[in-house]
Amino acid sequence: MTFREDGQAALEWAARYLERVGDYPVLAQVAPGDVRSKLPPSPPEEGEPFANVLRDLDEVLLPAMTHWQSPRFFAYFANTASEPGILAELLIAATNQNGILWRTSPVLTELELHVADWAAQLLGLPRGWHGHIEDSASTSTFSAVVAARHATGGRVVVCSEHAHSSVEKAARMLGLEVRKVPVDGEFRLRPDALDLTDACCVVATVGTTSTTSVDPVPAIAAACRDAGVWFHVDAAYAGSAMVCPELRWAFDGVDRADSLVVNPHKWLLTPMDCSLLWTSRPVDFRAAFSLVPEYLRTADAADSLGAYGPALGRRFRALKLWAVLRCYGRTGLQAMIREHVRLAELFEGWVRDEPGWELSAPRPFSVVCFRREGTDEDSERLLGAVNSTGEIFISHTKLHDRYVLRLAVGNERTTEADVQRAWDVLRREAAAL
Ligand SMILES: Cc1ncc(COP(=O)(O)O)c(C=O)c1O
């Protein structure tokens, strides 16, 4: 077999997978260890044909996949690897660019800066911010906290009790203290409770992980400016919604951030992994991260993106984001976000109108938090029951110490019929418990 023939078979596998992905159980119905028990304990001595890999993909691996590409994946933050993004991943691997320095891949460095600038324009961010791509929001926020500590000398990272665990993890990795600020009745950081003593940075979240609540960014930005504290905004999920002007209210004041993270791999149709990190203070990032050993010294007068984060080598992630932005355009991205918000709003209305069910938090974007009357154990049992049907996959959180279900709309293939099915499964399984 040649690369071309194997490649056609792999592409055919991918196309068939995407056509059928809605037929598989969304949550893998396997037990821990099932996959390893089916794999040979030792690697092959001699190379095998690639066709064997495709065969085992079907027979051994597919049954243990949780299908993030399914239209009825409603857990965590549902997302999509779009077709242009998938094809771009193939080209990224084929060209195997590594952006250690500008000269090791001029195209990677320049396209990354350029697509970060395009994305900034699409999201209505200030012109002139420096943007680059990290693997994850965890790395982006870690990098921002490193720059903040370097620039301010503070020892405390301040965030709300609803901030993502990556903020606390970043502080822990850096030996910094975390100060969690209480939230109001709608899960938003309470600016009146901000204590910035010895703070290096405040992380505000637009679109928190549990409820997608929106911290009061303008008030936090003002407090940070007065205290000389770095202001980082985590909009990992919701930031993509800025492409829609009618949703920009939620991002008021974000233009005053020192750094901002948005994950195109969450809600902007880009395959894992792709996290955009912008800063209005690139000099402070370079001061924190720039370290050039002799073997990497060149006379090139160009930015090396390793000066903005922990990694030296970098994948050509810009290519897939570029492909997505080109193939969808502003209007295609807006249509996707608007449809997801519409579907979430529809589901929210069904829950609101159904006796015995209640909404547990406001819904600014495409995630609905809700519960059925009963104990937390009842809710946990309901979650287990609906997920073991394989028809849908939803997740949970705790709000005001109560167990709450979450339905997140974020897959491009999700239709109104899929959301209706989720609601049917929930009511059916609740009645059966
Ligand atoms: C608000 C928020 N920030 C950060 C993260 C971490 O994202 P990543 O998996 O890219 O590190 C998440 C993950 O869901 C999130 O919801």
Round to whole Å and give the CA distance between 151 and 340: 39
Mean pLDDT of 397-406: 97
42 phi and psi angles, rounded to 5 deg:
-125, 155
Q: What is the largest CA-CA distance in the chain?
A: 71
Round to whole Å and give the CA distance between 181 and 419: 35
Residues paired with 405 in a beta bridge:
370, 396
* Ligand 1 midpoint to CA 236 (Å): 6
Measured from the Cβ of residue 128, the count of other Cβ atoms closer than 10 Å reads 9
Atom number, ligand 1, closest to the C-alpha of residue 265? 10
Mean pLDDT of 50-73: 97
Kindly report the CA angle at 39 between 33 and 42, in degrees rounded to 5?
A: 115
Kindly report the CA angle at 57 between 54 and 58, in degrees rounded to 5?
A: 95
Mean pLDDT of 31-44: 96
* Ligand 1 midpoint to CA 134 (Å): 12
The pTM of this model reads 0.97
Atom number, ligand 1, closest to the C-alpha of residue 205? 1
Q: Does ligand 1 have an atom closer than 6 angstroms to the CB of 270?
A: no
Averaged pLDDT score across all residues of the chain: 97
Q: How far apart are the first and last CA of the chain?
A: 54
The model's pLDDT over 68-102, given as tens digits with 9 standing for 90+, comes to 999 999 999 999 999 999 999 999 999 999 999 99
For every residue of 274-321, DSSP letters joined together read -EEEEES-HHHHHHHH----GGG-----S--GGGGSS-SS---HHHHH
Report the residue among 188, 263, 268, 272 best suited for mutation to probe ligand 1: largest number of ligand atoms under 8 A from its CB. 263
Report the residue among 237, 273, 366 best suited for mutation to probe ligand 1: largest number of ligand atoms under 8 A from its CB. 237
Measured from the Cβ of residue 35, the count of other Cβ atoms closer than 10 Å reads 15
User: What is the CA 174 to chain-centroid distance, rounded?
Assistant: 23
Q: Which residue, judged by its Cα, is nearest atom 14 of ligand 1?
A: 209
The model's pLDDT over 152-166, given as tens digits with 9 standing for 90+, comes to 999 999 999 999 999
